[in-house]
């Protein structure tokens, strides 16, 4: 017996979601009446002009939809970005990349980052930010891995919602790229085949959250194909799911230049706006309407969506005002620093090598070309150019106080360099990836060619470790890297692309001013062969139900570092799991509590994670799925009871036969702990009608 969530109570919940006024809030009814009047007064040409951009990269913007001055329709000015406002408009605060912010697991902080980026977008003349990227990291070699938040749909969705909420206090947000965009080298053409269950459970729920909980005003369709249709003309993705099932009220725009692939099929499928220039939606659309191939009702419905966003976000009465003083303000730079602090993941710390003990470490050698550069990430559409940025070396020098700092910049140390390295009390070697190793396809380098460190950096780490027994490795890049030298080094910090204040945050962690609290939002495997294959050359690929930690768990493969993992300069103990009720209905909620105690010497933050497993499910399930998480701050000796909530309907699987989510009446195991592979607390509850 299966319990459909399309039962009466679930219907009520869905109906409530549909009544939700969304991004219009309480102005919705007024706006709809204005839209009726506007549509009645607009000429066909004016309407069709709302359905495309004015041209690629108009001055200071990534794209623009023109206004209609005679009707006080303001139009929309669009700017990228995923880690700050993109360089096309000038300088801006460069935040840590999305993956780094994913490692904070801090939704409140991400909302503030979204808000700051929203403020800077307006201050640079934009009214819409082409962010957040909420594509699942299916494989860590994806060239744009850095722009998204991680490999897990719940974590990704919650971080994306936080960004949308913050940004939309000021501008329209644009979750992208809908959907299954996770290969760069073939991104314009690749056809991703996926079964409906994987689509509904793995690749779409974070978009649903961004739309239904974040109330995103727009969504960007991806370049790639899904099951034989490009995303911008994919009736199933746009009409059935986004519009039909989720009740999306905003507008859908294509990705830039090669994102729109047809005229009539795209309009009929639910693409509202072609960006950045009129191609298929220019004269061909006018001709198609005149020839009766597209009904006026369809045009009106599309234009209504774009206008609704403009009016609900008050772009007519409160247009963006250019204001350089709002850009890279001290408050925003401080926020970028805070995000970098919380994002750094301590992966290894042998014999208390970190934090640096000023009594034992009087001299430090900083090694590697990357140490002297602010490694900010991709140079594609997400490029942000801050007015200034702190490299790890700058940060360490500024913090070092009485500790002597020597820099060895060679990528291959000479005998003299090696004696300098050997003479220091500790060596910090900075290695990793840059924009030359991974990035947006076609514009920059595209997908990574392997998970290994490029440019002989493994040899560099090996040489430093052989010379200095206290070798501390700082890694930069989008994510998973292989570490053949791991056993030879004392400590490893994953610092990602840490943004303009990254060097300061790295130094603060090294010297112990900041207790590291980041947790991996992506699995680091021991070998690439432990992951599902990544094919960045074929015109067609197949995506399955398992990737990331769920793939390794299923195959009982030990990762190098598991999803959710991160050490601190203190220790945490988990105790007292509470689960109520023991049995819940398919539309009920389970309250789970766990006590977390800081058992170490310093204050710190812990990200507690709750995973659910499925005993006796009739379908293939993950060993465990992340279903809740919480970041808590604990003083030494302090215990806090951390509350989590699990909705039974979030345990449903997609029954392709029934075409609906169903919740099984089985036992659900609950595990709570500090990472996906360290779950000291376990219990269970049941679902029953």
Per CB under 6 A, does 256 bind ligand BGC? yes
CA distance 681 to 671: 5
Q: Is 130 in the site for ligand BGC (CB under 6 A)?
A: yes
Task: Give the dihedral sign, CA 156/159/165/169.
Answer: negative
Print the binding letters for residues 76-95 with ligand BGC: x by CB under 6 A, - otherwise: ----x---------------
Give me the 349-388 binding string for ligand BGC, x by CB under 6 A, dash otherwise. --------------------------------x-------
Shortest separation between residue 574's beta carbon and ligand BGC, angstroms: 40
Q: SS3 for 542?
A: strand
Q: Which long-range contacts (CB under 8 A, 24 or more apart) does 56-62 make?
A: 56/256, 56/257, 56/276, 56/277, 57/88, 57/276, 60/88, 60/89, 60/90, 60/124, 60/125, 61/88, 61/89, 61/125, 61/126, 62/86, 62/88, 62/130, 62/256, 62/276, 62/381
- Nearest approach, Cβ of 153 to ligand BGC (angstroms)? 20
**What's the closest the beta carbon of residue 57 comes to ligand BGC, in angstroms?**
8
Minimum CB separation of residue 88 from ligand BGC in Å reads 8
Minimum CB distance to ligand BGC smaller for 176 or for 470: 176
Nearer to ligand BGC, 384 or 681 (CB): 384
Handedness of CA 54, 60, 63, 66 (dihedral sign): negative
Please say which residue, 382 or 434, places its beta carbon nearer to ligand BGC. 382
Which of 49, 80, 152, 255 is flagged as catalytic?
255
Q: Is the separation of the CB atoms in 263 and 243 below 8 Å?
A: no
The single-letter DSSP state of residue 176 is B
Q: Identify whether 106 is a catalytic site residue.
A: no
Between 435 and 644, CB nearer to ligand BGC:
435
Total residues interacting with ligand BGC, rule: CB under 6 A: 7
Using CB under 6 A, pick the residue from 83, 112, 165, 176 that binds ligand BGC. Answer: 176
Beta-carbon contacts of 15 under 8 Å, excluding residues fewer than 6 positions away, are none
Cα 167 → chain centroid: 14
- The distance of Cα 473 from the centroid of its chain, to the nearest Å, equals 25
Sequence length of the chain is 689
Nearest distance, CB of residue 176 and ligand BGC, angstroms: 6
Between 80 and 437, name the residue whose CB sits nearer to ligand BGC. 80
Nearer to ligand BGC (CB atom), residue 135 or residue 338: 135
**Closest residue by beta carbon to ligand BGC:** 381
Please give the Cα distance from 410 to 283 (Å, whole number): 57
Q: Record the tokens describing residue 467, joined without a space.
A: 């010379």
By CB under 6 A, tell whether 62 contacts ligand BGC: yes
Beta-carbon count within 10 A of 274 CB: 25
Gap between the Cα atoms of 338 and 627, Å rounded: 26
Both tokens assigned to 537? 């050359």
CA–CA gap between residue 110 and residue 96 (Å, rounded): 11
CB of 186 or CB of 675, closer to ligand BGC = 186
Pattern of binders to ligand BGC over 206-245, x per CB under 6 A? ----------------------------------------
Q: Which of 151, 255, 328, 664 binds ligand BGC (CB under 6 A)?
A: 255
The least CB distance from residue 389 to ligand BGC, in Å, is 22
Using CB atoms within 10 Å of the CB of residue 359, give its burial: 0 to 12 exposed, 13 to 18 middle, 19+ buried: exposed
| CB of 220 or CB of 520, closer to ligand BGC | 220
What residues are labeled active site?
Answer: 255
* Interface residues toward ligand BGC, by CB under 6 A: 62, 80, 130, 176, 255-256, 381
């Amino acid at each position: 017996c299966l319990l459909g969530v399309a039962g009466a109570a679930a219907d009520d919940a869905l109906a409530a979601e549909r009544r939700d006024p969304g991004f219009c809030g309480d102005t919705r009814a007024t706006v709809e009446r204005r839209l009726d009047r506007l549509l009645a007064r607009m000429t066909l040409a004016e309407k069709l002009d709302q359905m495309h951009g004015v041209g690629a990269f108009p001055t200071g913007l990534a794209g623009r939809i023109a206004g209609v001055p005679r009707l006080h329709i303001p139009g929309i000015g669009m700017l990228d970005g995923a880690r700050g406002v993109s360089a096309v408009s000038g300088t801006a605060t460069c935040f840590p990349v999305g993956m780094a912010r994913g490692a904070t697991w801090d939704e409140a902080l991400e909302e503030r980052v979204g808000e700051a980026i929203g403020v800077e977008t307006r201050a640079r003349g934009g009214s819409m930010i082409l962010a957040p990227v909420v594509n699942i990291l299916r494989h860590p070699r994806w060239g744009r891995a850095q722009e998204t938040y991680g490999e897990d749909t719940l974590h990704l969705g919650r971080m994306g919602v936080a960004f949308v909420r913050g940004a939309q206090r000021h501008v329209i947000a644009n979750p992208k790229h809908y959907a299954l965009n996770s290969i760069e080298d073939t991104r314009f053409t690749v056809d991703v085949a996926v079964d409906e269950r994987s689509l509904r459970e793995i690749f779409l729920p974070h978009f649903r959250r961004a739309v239904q909980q974040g109330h995103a005003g727009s969504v960007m369709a991806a370049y790639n194909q899904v099951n034989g249709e490009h995303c911008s003309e994919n009736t199933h993705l746009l009409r059935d799911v986004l519009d039909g099932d989720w009740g999306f009220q905003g507008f859908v725009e294509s990705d830039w230049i090669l994102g729109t692939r047809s005229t009539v099929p795209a309009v009929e499928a639910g693409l509202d706006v072609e960006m950045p220039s009129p191609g298929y939606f220019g004269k061909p659309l006018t001709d198609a309407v005149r020839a009766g191939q597209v009904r006026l009702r369809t045009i009106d419905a599309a234009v209504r969506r774009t206008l609704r966003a403009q009016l609900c976000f008050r772009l007519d009465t409160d247009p963006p005002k250019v204001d350089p003083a709002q850009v890279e303000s001290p408050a925003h730079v401080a926020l970028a620093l805070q995000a970098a602090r919380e994002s750094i993941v301590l992966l290894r710390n042998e014999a208390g090598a970190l934090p640096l003990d000023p009594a034992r470490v009087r001299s430090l050698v900083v090694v590697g070309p990357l140490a002297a550069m602010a490694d900010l990430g991709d140079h594609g559409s997400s490029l942000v150019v801050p007015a200034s940025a702190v490299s790890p070396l700058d940060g360490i020098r500024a913090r070092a106080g009485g500790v002597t700092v020597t820099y060895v910049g060679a990528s291959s140390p000479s005998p003299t360099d090696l004696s300098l390295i050997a003479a220091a009390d500790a060596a910090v070697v900075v290695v990793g990836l840059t924009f030359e190793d991974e990035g947006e396809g076609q514009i920059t380098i595209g997908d990574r060619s392997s998970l290994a460190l490029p440019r002989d950096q493994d040899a560099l780490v090996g040489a430093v470790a052989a010379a200095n027994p206290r070798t501390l490795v700082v890694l930069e890049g989008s994510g998973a890297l292989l570490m053949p030298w791991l056993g030879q080094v004392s400590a490893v910090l994953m610092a990602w692309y840490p943004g303009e204040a990254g060097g300061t945050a790295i130094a603060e962690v090294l010297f112990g001013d900041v207790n590291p609290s980041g947790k991996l939002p992506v699995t680091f495997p021991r070998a690439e062969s432990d992951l599902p294959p990544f094919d960045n050359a074929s015109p067609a690929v197949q995506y399955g139900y398992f990737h990331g930690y769920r793939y390794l768990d299923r195959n009982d493969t030990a990762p190098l570092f598991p999803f959710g993992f991160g050490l601190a300069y203190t220790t945490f103990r988990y105790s007292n799991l509470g689960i109520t009720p023991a049995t819940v209905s398919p539309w009920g909620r389970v309250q789970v509590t766990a006590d977390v105690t800081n058992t170490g010497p310093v204050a710190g933050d812990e990200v507690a994670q709750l995973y659910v497993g499925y005993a006796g499910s009739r379908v293939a399930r993950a060993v465990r799925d992340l279903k809740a998480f919480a970041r808590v701050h604990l003083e030494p000796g302090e215990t806090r009871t951390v509350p989590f909530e699990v909705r039974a309907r979030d345990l449903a699987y997609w029954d392709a036969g029934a075409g609906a989510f169903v919740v099984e009446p089985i036992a659900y195991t609950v595990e709570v702990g500090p990472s996906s592979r360290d779950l000291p607390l376990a219990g269970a509850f049941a679902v029953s009608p």
